[in-house]
């Protein structure tokens, strides 16, 4: 880990209490579709079942094992307030 990355994490921990790390799948079509589904009301971040149902639909009707990490991706997107393409979240 670079020194600048470590400094950023420390700043976030001090400011927020918890560091938020960019998800591995951040720059993907999956993330854009996930955020669009959230904006359209198809996913409720507080309802794990709605997230699981969306992941199952996205995965062709099969429940993904392990989970696709949708909740963490949405939390990150809402925290930074933008999509991977830089546009704001509605």
Print pLDDT tens along the chain (90 aa). Answer: 688 887 777 776 666 655 567 888 888 999 999 999 999 999 999 999 999 999 999 999 999 988 899 999 998 999 889 999 999 998
pLDDT for the residue 84: 94
Task: Taking the CA atoms of 22, 37, 28 and 54 in sequence, report the sign of the dihedral they define.
Answer: positive
Phi-psi region of 47 (alpha: psi -120 to 50; beta: other; left: phi over 0): beta
Between CA 77 and CA 88 the distance in angstroms is 9
Measured from the Cβ of residue 68, the count of other Cβ atoms closer than 10 Å reads: 19
Tokens of 35: 């955020």
pLDDT at residue 24 in the model? 85
Q: What does pTM read for this prediction?
A: 0.74
pLDDT single digits (tens) 78-90: 988 999 999 999 8
């Amino acid at each position: 880990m670079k020194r600048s990355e470590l400094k950023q994490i420390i700043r976030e921990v001090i400011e927020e209490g918890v560091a938020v790390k960019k998800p591995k799948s951040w720059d993907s079509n999956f993330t854009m579709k996930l955020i669009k589904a959230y904006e359209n009301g198809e996913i409720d971040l507080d309802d794990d079942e709605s997230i699981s149902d969306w992941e199952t639909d996205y995965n062709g009707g099969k429940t993904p094992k392990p989970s696709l990490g949708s909740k963490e991706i949405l939390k990150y997107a809402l925290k930074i307030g933008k999509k991977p393409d830089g546009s704001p979240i509605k």
